Structure 1
Amino acid sequence: MTTNAPRPDVVRYTAFSSTPDGGNPAGVVLDATALDDSDMLAIAAELGYSESAFLTPSPEGVGGQEGRTYAVRYFSPKAEVPFCGHATVAAALALAERIGPGELVFSTRAGVVPVEVAQEGGTIRATLTSVEPCIEEIAGADLTEALAALDWPSADLDPAFPPRIAFAGARHLVLAAATRARLADLAYDFARLETLMHRLDLTTIQLVWREAATVFHVRDPFPVGGVVEDPATGAAAAAFGAYVREFALVPEDAVLTLHQGEDLGRPGRLTVTLRPGDPRVRVSGTGTRIH
């Protein structure tokens, strides 16, 4: 984008909530063809949301989706991230209002992510299908450093949920709190956790507490993006779905409900669907435009 080029239109949507004051807001640029990396980073920083999505229409459709295929890049206020779930949902909802519900294909740095947008009564719901996930162990010294940065004693972890790094488009360290009070008490060392996360190439820390068999409360520190906490994190939800399946903590065909943002005053709800025989994870939610 040259100095004299017109600024691209930026629309704002919140994802995983049907009201503008809930969920996680994202900026969406529906045609970023004229933007370079510095332009996108500058727009994301100006918006100040945890991530914004920048779409470039693809002239050739993927999987038969001609005219509904986009290359997508995601930027936090500090850096590009390979994949962002809430900005994917926000972008899909923005497109659906303009070209109608249906199937979309997003080509991201993490891989191809299909998104289905459907009208459900008076609301629109977007469902993304993750890239193939994987789970890996975390070294003992790195876990010790993560807990020290969070100021979480290891005794406050739920022993049923072993700490692991989970990936379904981006890498997240999954740590489970033994109590809701532990999850609610989040005051961490920003710089210390950011340093560790850069070294381990983590996007967020996925902190969880299990309320019921398939109901969880989650929080996501995001210092590497310049944000203390992400209000609703679709990429981490997908990674968490893969994690609980890996350890058989839920049935193979489970539908999980993740509550996030309550501790920030921005309540949101993420639905995570697991299907037998398909390693990919589906994450869905509603959203609405922020005026």
Structure 2
Amino acid sequence: MTSQTTSPTSSNPLPHTAESPDILQSPDTLPGPDSIEVLRYSAFTADPAGGNPAGVVLDAEGLDEARMLAVAAEVGYSETAFVTAHDTAARRYRLRYFSPRAEVAFCGHATIATAVALASRNGTGELLFETPAGEIRVGTSLDDGLVRATLTSVPAHSHPARDTQVEPVLRALRWSRDDLDTGLPPHVAFAGNDHLVLAVRSREQLAALDYDFDALHALMRRHGWTTVHLVHREAADRFDFHARDPFPVGGVVEDPATGAAAAAFGGYLRALGLVTEPLRVHIRQGEDMGRPSDLYVDVHPDDPRVRVTGQAVPLPAP
């Protein structure tokens, strides 16, 4: 199965990119052609050594859920995005996201990767993605020869987390209440998925993260959280954060860049009353994993939707 679309490309195609597709063989399960082309991108970085890798399958119309899950598990990234329907002329696509263990309603970094892959073939501009979480609009443009993408989330919201939710998580993280930043209280934030947001006072505490994988996995499954979004604010008068996102429910220890959590975090800041004018938030993630990532989050006091911006670069097949 190839990743070519059926409509002509637009009048502003981008220069050829050097991605190396991974061809996964599947003769027993796929109708028609016996291979699936998986593109690999690293999102929220301009350096292939940084960011969060995502698989992208641009032509997944013939794949059922079991096959998509198997492909995601074989790729081994935190998520792989599958384009299951497309109208290239209208720039409208249907997406599904799978981690190695389960389907995910929305994935920010795989959305950015898919948008960059499509823009690299069909030209930059606006895209509309139909996802299990709702419609996601993505704008793409060229920035110093690389495609930059901005996704607009579904309406975000956030509410305080209960003590009965927070205390077991702190034990799994091997943290205490005294480690938390009292100016940024624990919340459950949503922008397509639920994320528990915990702010830690010390950058060193965040860097030393060493959690109980099985215990946190069980808690996250019980509460339906996609990640636990752990943040440290660099200074009280700035909106620059370091973040780490344990993702045991997806079958990986940690995400190096989590666009869905970043969008939810924007809604969290708005819910706390900290967004009194249009605001850009910078999140530095993945640094402690050796895969530094930069996510830019735009929040408006009068708009519940959150915009998350980043680049993506192609990766060679392993």
TM-score of Structure 1 vs Structure 2, range by shorter chain: over 0.9
Distance 2:70 2:169 in 1: 30
- Alpha-carbon deviation of 1:238? 0.2
- 1:225 matched to 2:247: no
Q: Is the 8 A contact 2:83 2:95 kept in 1?
A: yes
Instruction: Tell me what 1:32 maps to.
Output: 60
Q: Is 1:87–2:110 an aligned residue pair?
A: yes
Q: Secondary structure at the match of 1:32?
A: coil
Written as runs of structure 1 = structure 2, the 5 A alignment for 1:53-68 is 53-59=81-87, 66-68=89-91
1:206 aligned partner: 229
Q: C-alpha displacement at 1:250, in angstroms?
A: 4.2
User: Is the Cα–Cα contact under 8 Å of residues 38 and 57 in structure 2 kept in the other structure?
Assistant: yes
| Matched residue SS, 1:9 | strand
Identity %, equivalent residues: 54
Q: 1:50 aligns with which of 78, 84, 98?
A: 78
Assess if the C-alpha contact under 8 Å between 1:214 and 1:250 holds in 2: no
TM-score (norm 1): 0.95
Structure 1 residue 139 corresponds to structure 2 residue 158: no
**What corresponds to 1:187 in structure 2?**
210
Q: Which amino acid aligns with 2:82?
A: F
Counterpart CA distance in 2 for 1:174 and 1:142 is 11
> What CA deviation, in whole Å up to 9, does each residue of 1:26-83 have, x standing for no partner?
0000010010001111111011100010012334x8xxxx431111000001100000
Separation in structure 2 between the aligned mates of residue 101 and residue 273 of structure 1, nearest angstrom: 21
Q: CA deviation at 1:231?
A: 0.5
Structure-2-length-normalised TM-score: 0.87
What runs of 5+ residues in structure 1 fail to find an aligned partner? none
Decide which structure has the larger Cα Rg and report it.
2
Bigger shift: residues 35-44 or 248-257? 248-257
- Equivalents in 2 of 1:237, 1:252: separation in Å? 18
Hey, what does 1:102 align to over in structure 2? 125
CA contact (8 A) 1:245 1:252 kept: no
Partner of 2:307: 282
1:207 alignment partner AA = L
- 1:251 shift after superposition: 3.9
1:285 partner SS? strand
How many residue pairs match? The answer is 286
Secondary structure of 1:237's aligned partner: helix
Two-structure CA RMSD over aligned residues (Å):
1.3
For 1:24 and 1:187, the matched residues in 2 are separated by 20
Q: Shift of the alpha carbon at 1:2?
A: 6.2
On the 8 A contact 2:27/2:35 being kept in 1, the answer is no
Q: Which AA in structure 1 matches 2:56?
A: V
Contact 1:176 1:207 in 2 (8 A): yes
**1:259 maps to what in 2?**
284
